[in-house]
Structure 1
Amino acid sequence: MPGDRITLGAAAIPEPERDWLAAVERLPVESVWQGGHVLPPGATGEAVTRLALMSAWTERVRVGSAVLVLPLYQPVVVAKQLADLDSRSGGRLTVGVGAGGEFRHEFDAVGVPVGERGPRTDEAMEILRKLWSGGPATHRGRFFAFEDVELHPVRPPGAAGPAGRKGGPPLVVSGRKAPAMRRAARLGDGWMPYLMSPGAYARSVQTVQEEARTIGRDLAGFEWAMYLYCSIRRDGDRARDDVATFLGSAYGDKPAAMLDRIAPAGTPEEVAERFQAYIDAGVRHLIISPAAHDDTLEVVRLAAEEVLPRLSLPAEVR
């Protein structure tokens, strides 16, 4: 995504729905996102399945995972699944990846030691790149090995030319800690943290940039995104109650002052000021995750129609 403009994405909360996605595609929203665990504590979907639904039920927007817990997956299998989805969607896929670890039982159940999740994520990202590069690929790593294999994405019916994008879909790294930031700088096409204040985001940008300089990497074209829980209502008190109730059940009880730093809530005017702080910290693609149990489309609509027009790039990059 270009770094000289501000764009908006939206998370399909709680589950992707055809009518909700159709309504969002009529708004000035450029992407839709969903993730999912393999063994979540409740009846919620899995990341690849959700990507497939969103790809099938949209026509215009970019479709992304926020996030795919990559170490839970056999990388050759998921490389094929994602390449096929990218090809069939017309190159609209973005793969947000994370190392996970909050649900240890998932790792135990699939036979992956939770302590290996970081290096497994790194190696899996390398494998995805190799298999998406086109032509035969060989890999000999700590966890996986194959020789002279070639991945062939499916071609959409009636399409001409090669199937899929050479190099595959972008890999955007999520997380909140320094190892994830370094992973983004070394292996990612972007950085997409969550539950961060604007100040913490600005510090994370510095960490990513410093790591990139250390390894001699040019970050031109790198995507600076933020997955941002929020609620926007005409009634600001209702929005604040949304966030307190939603994040309290999802992430445990958090003080109101902490929620205010990491999950903007209020009227469009109030939230625009909070969003602008993230833009000033370096965010260029804001992914709105409605922290609400109902009327999530209203949150996205107000963000797109009344908050986004109020945002502006810092003077030094205009």
Structure 2
Amino acid sequence: MSAERITFGAAAIPEPDRAWLAAVERLPIDSVWQGGHVLPPSDTGEAITRLALMTAWTERVRVGTAVLLLPLYHPVLVAKQLADLDAHSGGRVSVGIGVGGEFRHEFDALGVPVASRGARTDEAIEVLRALWGGGPVSHSGPAFSFDDVQLRPVRPPGADGPAGRPGGPPLIVSGRKEPAMRRAARAGDGWLPYLFSPEAYARSVRTITAHAAEIGRDLAGFEWMAYVYCSVRRDGDRARDDVATFLGGAYGDKPGAMLDRIAPAGTPEEVAARLQQYVDAGVRHLVVSPAAREDTLGVVTLAAEEVLPRLTLPAGVEVGVAAEAGAP
């Protein structure tokens, strides 16, 4: 695919906040994202609830889940919830989906075998597409079975035109391993990995492009995205301390050198140089997740106003073409 410009998104860390979102909407930011677990080990929210708040508290930006752990949800219910939110937002919802599994107890509590999460996700995607396609749907599969189910579109008060988008909101596949890449190539509207270095992203582009070619899928319109933890400060040392403190606890098994590869930190000039490597690897929509425990709006503001203008698209190179050529 080709893209006319590089776009920025931001993660609403630590929780969606009305004033924070209003400030972000005044920046050159195209999207805001937030995920969540059902039974997280800390006091953080759930993905659909957070998405509803972001939908209600924004007017312009695209809003998305990064990510929704799809195997934990019944697809009929989540199809209705997402379709309603998309309609009320004027078609601004995107759905980043992942399989989860890092917190096994939430799978056990919900009666979902953790070993089935990949297959259950694939089947749920099929159900979502069918229900959003309109008309009655019957489905018989290993995880879900139902007959003659039809979603009734919601038309918000004062709406003039269709309720939501035909076919539903885009499904952006997240993950880090090859099964997720194959899922993106087969059934996703885009790819949104996390904790990836630019080199890993380039390899994922090649994998997705190759698999799409094998199954005869045209990736025109496919969204090449990346969820990147980072900190941008006037004081580069403070930014690096942000990342070490923020990610050191959550990902303490990763050495500092690895954190440096997957979580850019520093001054606007330093972070731009690092994020340019992601762009060169094929990313066209960067979701900046502030790896900081305070003043996350400051991180996003510097990223949008002083990092984004420094990024440039590779001249005359499309993402798929670069992948086929083995370009980094």
User: What's the TM-score, normalizing by structure 1?
Assistant: 0.98
**Equivalent position of 2:164 in the other structure:** 164
2:87 counterpart SS class:
helix
Q: Quick one: distance in 2 between partners of 1:162 and 1:316?
A: 38
Deviation at 1:135?
Answer: 1.1
Once residues 284 and 17 of structure 2 are traced to their aligned partners in structure 1, the CA distance between those partners, rounded to angstroms, is: 26
| Contact 1:35-1:47 at 8 Å conserved across structures | yes
**Distance in 1 separating the partners of 2:305 and 2:130:** 41
Q: Distance in 1 between matches of 2:161 and 2:11?
A: 32
Partner Cα separation in structure 1 for residue 269 and residue 244 of structure 2 = 20
8 Å Cα contact 1:3-1:221 kept in structure 2: no
Q: Work out the CA distance in 2 between the residues paired with 1:47 and 1:152.
A: 23
- Measure, in 2, the Cα distance between the counterparts of 1:101 and 1:2: 34
Amino acid paired to 1:31? S
Q: 2:48 aligned with 1:44, yes or no?
A: no
In structure 2, relative to structure 1, the CA distance for the partners of 1:168 and 1:2 (3 Å cut) is farther
Aligned to 1:31: 31
1:2, CA displacement in angstroms? 6.8
Q: String of CA shifts for 1:177-211, please: whole Å, max 9, x gaps.
A: 00000000001000000000000000000000111
Letter in 2 for 1:143: A
Alignment correspondent of 1:203: 203
In the other structure, the counterpart of 2:326 is none
User: What is residue 82 of structure 2 aligned with on the other side?
Assistant: 82
Secondary structure of the residue that 2:271 maps to in structure 1?
helix
Shift of residue 252, structure 1, vs aligned partner: 2.1
CA distance in 2, matches of 1:2, 1:89: 27
Query: Which AA in structure 2 matches 1:126?
Result: E
> Unpaired segments of 5 or more residues in structure 1?
none
Which residue is 1:266 aligned to?
Answer: 266
Contact 1:10–1:287, Cα closer than 8 Å, also in 2: yes
User: Pairwise mapping of residues 1-318 of structure 1 onto structure 2 (< 5 A)?
Assistant: 3-317=3-317
Partners of 1:153 and 1:9 lie apart in 2 by 28
Secondary structure of the 2:96 match is: strand
The amino acid that maps onto 1:62 is: R
Deviation at 1:136, TM superposition (A): 1.2
Residue in 1 that maps onto 2:322: none
Partners of 1:263 and 1:169 lie apart in 2 by 29
Q: CA deviation at 1:152?
A: 1.3
Structure 1 stretches of 4+ with a deviation exceeding 3 A read none
Please give the alpha-carbon distance, in whole angstroms, between the structure 2 residues aligned to 1:210 and 1:138.
33
Rounded to whole Å, the distance in 2 between the matches of 1:3 and 1:68 is 26
For residue 316 of structure 1, report the CA deviation from its aligned partner: 2.2
Q: Unaligned 5+ residue runs, structure 2?
A: 319-328
Q: For 1:65, what is the secondary structure of its paired residue?
A: strand
Secondary structure of 1:169's counterpart equals: coil
Q: Distance in 2 between matches of 1:314 and 1:33?
A: 26
- Percent identity reads 77
Q: Deviations over 1:220-257 (max 9, x none)?
A: 00000000000000000000000011001122242111
What CA deviation, in whole Å up to 9, does each residue of 1:16-52 have, x standing for no partner?
Answer: 0000000000000000000000000011000000000
Following the alignment from structure 2 to structure 1, what is the Cα–Cα distance between the partners of residues 199 and 301? 27
Q: Secondary structure at the match of 1:315?
A: coil
RMSD: 1.1
Question: Could you say what secondary structure the match of 1:234 adopts?
Answer: coil
- In the alignment, the residues of structure 2 paired with residue 83 and residue 102 of structure 1 have an alpha-carbon distance, to the nearest angstrom, of 28
Aligned-partner Cα distance in 2 for 1:29–1:148: 41
Paired positions, count: 318
Deviation, 1:280, is 0.1
1:151-170 deviation line (CA, Å, top 9, x unaligned): 01311101123311110000
Task: Confirm or deny: 8 A CA contact 1:3 1:223 kept in the other structure.
Answer: no
- Cα distance between partner residues in 1 of 2:243 and 2:4: 30
| Aligned counterparts of 1:291 and 1:12: Cα–Cα separation in 2 | 11
Range 272-281 or range 158-167, more displaced: 158-167
* Matched letter for residue 142 of structure 2: R
Per-residue displacement from partner, 1:241-283 (whole Å, max 9, x unpaired)? 0001100112224211101100000000000000000000000
The residue type paired with residue 124 of structure 1 is: A
